[in-house]
Chain A
Amino acid sequence: MELSRPGPDAVGTGRSRSVMADPGSTGRFGRFGGRYVPESLVPACEQLESGFRAAWADPAFRAGLARTLALHAGRPTPVTPALRLSAELGLTLLLKREDLTHTGSHKINNVLGQAMLAKRMGKTRLLAETGAGQHGVASATAAALLGLECVVYMGERDMRRQELNVFRMELLGATVVAVRNGSRTLKDACTEALRGWVTQVDEAHYCVGSVMGPHPYPWMVREFQRVVGEEARQQCAALLPQGRPDVVVACVGGGSNAAGTFAGFVDTDARLVGVEAAGGAAVSRGAPGVLHGYRSQVLQDEHGQILEAHSISAGLDYPGIGPEHAHLADIGRAEYPSVTDAEVVEAVLRLARTEGIVPALESAHALAWVLRAAGTPQLPTGCSVLVTLSGRGDKDGAQLVALRRDGARSGALRRDAAGTPR
């Protein structure tokens, strides 16, 4: 298969000019985005923006990144027709297989981009925040590959929940810093990483894990994830008679795999659906706010204190959402429904038993929405759907075992449920 190459610049193509384009020097997506950081971080953000602009306009940088993504991360990933599940649901379901990348999720696309950029900018250390540990493991992997130091900030509570990933990061040579503030989870790890960055801006690059943070991060991370959408677009063109899917679906925590996927289809008439966790639904249950350097929809109380998100998937346990998603929701270009933990567990099972693929709990959110909507006016019989399977479910084994032991809230994990469409 030919390696997909991004176009020269998405900004230049007429229809995408205003939507999912370069947000310019202010980093605004409509009323969201921006750069809400202390003055001490402003020069670092400016330096990063100009460094990224130069690199992204440099064919040598992009060729180097494409080569690394191909040789190290295993790109391009296939689009797999989910034949049995399609037949059961009465539609054409295609899966963009980010679960097949090195380290097991789309996170690697972004970290390799940022690590190569950091190296080009003369930085010697990567800082990263992590919740479930996926972004931390990916960052540690990229740092090892490029000979950079790596420091990962992780909530103490998450460290206990994700012991294996802590071990993996340390195995890869990273230092894991336990964050003992606040809720001791992802949001506190982000805050602590920003605090850490202030003290070492000269030598360290903060490798943000999603389309969040101060400008240029939401834009830059989307561009590094764009490869997902652009590959999928070419692959869909070859697989589908009408050349593109009717609906494009991805899960959303911060929203990087969705942003990368949507970027490949935003200038088509495909419907874009980002699926949030019911306990972390920033678009439907949040309010405009400022968190971690950007303005977006944020889960918060009436006084402006940030609320903890709650989800079965640690990767979606984040109270904000990327500012560009908030904007896409504002203008009606994308929609952001949410699904419950029970629906998610059922989706994991359904895909495992119809297609032999165990998706990550995060990715299963996108599938869960498809299962719910199939055959309704939301997703009529006969339509074509592309779901980005952002990661593989191996990491969730212990959690699924525990759910089954506890009788599983939905009952979906009982052995007698095998293979039965619910």
Chain B
Amino acid sequence: MNATERYGRLETHLRRRRDAGRSLLVPYVTAGISADWTDYLHAYADAGADAIEVGLPFSDPMLDGATIQEASHRALSSGTTTAGVLARLAGTPVAVPLAVMTYANIVFRHGAATFCDRLAQAGVAGLIVPDVPYDEVDELSTVATAAGVELVLLASPVTAPTRLRRIAERSRGFVYGVTVMGTTGERTGLSDSARALGTTLRGHGSRPVLLGFGISSPGQAALAAGSADGVVVASSLMREVLAGRGPREVAGTVAALRAGLDAG
């Protein structure tokens, strides 16, 4: 927040693009969903992604809807492991920063410090852990900072005002505004509470605010970007991936989202 705070790689990148007048787009892919899953990263970056969220699959994804559950299940069934994913990422330089999204049990399995060090070694800039809320964040936040990993915090439509401010201050990389009271998944429209959340979070400083959960169409993305700095899009892309569409095809959808944001 203050002038002396040094931003990490993810946040510096997002701020620069945002400050240049661009609405931010962060598409998602489940790691290990196919043999060529890292090709989606390059395709997304080429199609106008500003950063990419990489899902590290967990057996019991509490905050994910049917599409990402299916993707996680499929990735795990084909033998995907954290170590394997990070090794692949280490050997796959991508043109935009990556943020890993996973659950607490994966992070704490061999210690949060070890996990964050491994992320950093793999070149991952950010970390999103939806089942570690603000009150439980101290331990993870400390080791993430030490490892140079930006821990992105989430805020929901029912988060109390003072807590929203603390989350906005404590988050690194960006602030993740969850737009719906529900799991990840496609929905139509954008609620008033989602817009209000974006506006409130932006009022707490200059850190980029991205809205996610339920945003799938270019029109929705443009609408969300009206009250935030950008969007995270996951389920609609993963539905295509699950249907067997390849990196180039799904990148077409990313490009359409990009165009929607640029036009909005």
Q: Which of B62, B73, B157, B178 has the most CB of A within 10 A?
A: B62
B residues 154-211 in Cβ contact with A at 8 Å: 154-160, 163, 167, 178, 181-183
B132→A305 contact, CB < 8 A? no
CA distance A295 to B136 in the complex (A): 11
| Complex Cα–Cα for A188 and B69 (A) | 11
A305 touches B135 (CB 8 A): no
B82: interface (CB < 8 Å): yes
Within B102-122, the residues touching A (CB, 8 Å) are: 103-106, 108-109
For chain B, residues 61 to 95, give those with C-beta under 8 angstroms from any C-beta of chain A: 61-63, 65, 69, 73, 76, 81-83
Residues of chain A within 8 A (CB-CB) of B183 are: 195, 198-199
Q: Per DSSP, are chain A's interface residues mostly helix, strand or loop, or mixed? A: mixed
Q: Which residue of the partner chain B has the closest CB to A181?
A: B69
Across the interface, A290 reaches (CB within 8 A) one of B61, B108, B154, B181, namely B108
> What residues on B are CB-neighbors of A38 within 8 Å?
62-63, 130-131, 133, 154, 156, 178
Selected from B59, B131, B167, the residue in CB contact (under 8 A) with A306 is: B59
Complex Cα gap A152–B116 (Å): 38
Q: Does A382 belong to the interface (CB within 8 Å)?
A: no
Most chain A beta-carbon contacts within 10 A, residue among B131, B178, B183: B131
For A187, A198, A293, A300, the residue with the greatest tally of chain B CB atoms inside 10 Å of its CB is A198
Q: In the bound complex, do residue A39 and residue B108 qualify as a contact, i.e. CB atoms below 8 Å apart?
A: no
The reply to whether A201 and B158 contact each other, CB–CB distance below 8 Å, is yes
- Do A304 and B154 contact each other (CB < 8 Å), given the known contacts A38-B63, A290-B104? no
Distance in angstroms between the alpha carbons of A303 and B159 in the assembled complex: 32
Q: Does B134 make an interface contact (CB < 8 A)?
A: yes
Decide: A290 and B131 in contact? CB cutoff 8 A.
yes
Task: For the complex, give the distance between the alpha carbons of A305 and B134 in Å.
Answer: 24
Task: Return the CB mask of A270-291 against B: 1 if under 8 Å, else 0.
Answer: 0000000000000000011111
Check if A43 is an interface residue, CB within 8 A of chain B. Answer: yes
Write out the residue numbers on chain B whose beta carbons fall within 8 Å of the beta carbon of A306. Answer: 59-60, 105
Q: Are B82 and A39 in contact (CB under 8 A)?
A: no
Does A182 lie at the interface of the complex (its beta carbon under 8 Å from any beta carbon of B)?
Answer: yes
Residue B58 at the chain A interface, CB threshold 8 Å: yes
* A37 part of interface (Cβ distance < 8 Å): yes
A36 at the interface (CB under 8 A from B): yes
Range of interface residues on chain B?
35 or more
How distant is the Cα of A251 from the Cα of B58 in the complex, in angstroms?
A: 29
Any chain B CB within 8 A of the CB of A420? no
With A38-B154, A198-B182 known to touch, is A304 a contact of B133 (CB < 8 Å)?
A: no
User: Given the complex, which residues of A lie within 8 Å of B65, measured CB to CB?
Assistant: 195
Contact assessment for B76 and A199 in the assembled complex, using a CB-CB cutoff below 8 Å: no
Interface residues of B in 134-155 (CB under 8 A from A): 134-136, 154-155
Task: Tell whether, in the assembled complex, residue B76 and residue A288 are in contact, meaning their CB atoms are under 8 Å apart.
Answer: no
Q: What are 19 of the A-B contact pairs (CB < 8 Å)?
A: A37-B62, A38-B63, A39-B130, A39-B154, A39-B159, A40-B156, A40-B158, A40-B159, A43-B158, A194-B62, A195-B182, A198-B182, A290-B105, A293-B131, A303-B83, A303-B109, A305-B58, A305-B59, A306-B59
A195–B163 Cα distance when bound, in Å, is: 22
CB distance from B182 to the nearest CB of A (A): 5
Across the interface, A191 reaches (CB within 8 A) one of B60, B82, B133, B135, namely B60
Considering the complex, give the chain A residue whose CB is closest to the CB of B115. Answer: A304
Residues of A near B106 (CB, < 8 A) are 303-304
**When the two chains form the complex, which single residue of B83, B109, B154 contacts A300, counting CB atoms closer than 8 Å?**
B109
Task: Report A-chain residues with C-beta under 8 Å of the C-beta of B82.
Answer: 303-304
- Cα A292 to Cα B131 with chains together (Å): 9
Cross-chain contact B133 with A39 (CB below 8 angstroms): yes
Tell me whether B131 and A182 are in contact (CB under 8 A). no
Q: Are A35 and B58 touching (Cβ within 8 A)?
A: no
How would residues 35 to 66 of chain A score, 1 for a CB under 8 Å from any chain B CB and 0 otherwise? 11111101100000000000000000000000
CB distance from B211 to the nearest CB of A (A): 14
- Interface pair B58/A291, CB less than 8 Å apart: no
A93 at the interface (CB under 8 A from B): no
Other contacts beyond A304-B109, A306-B59: 4, CB < 8 A:
A26-B135, A38-B130, A40-B158, A303-B106
State A30–B240 Cα separation when bound (angstroms). 45
Across-interface contacts of A300 in B (CB, < 8 A): 105, 109
Question: What's the minimum C-beta distance from B110 to chain A, rounded to whole angstroms?
Answer: 8
Whether B62 lies near A182 (C-beta < 8 A) is: no
Cα(A187)–Cα(B60), bound, Å: 8
Q: Mark A85-96, 1 if CB is under 8 A from B, else 0.
A: 000000000000
Q: Within 8 Å CB of A35, what residues of B?
A: 133, 135-136
**CA of A364 to CA of B39, assembled, Å:** 54
B116 to chain A, nearest CB (A): 14
User: How far is it, in angstroms, between the C-alpha of A35 and the C-alpha of B134 when the chains are bound?
Assistant: 10
In the complex, the chain B residue whose C-beta lies closest to that of A306 is B59
Q: Does residue A34 face the partner (Cβ distance < 8 Å to B)?
A: yes
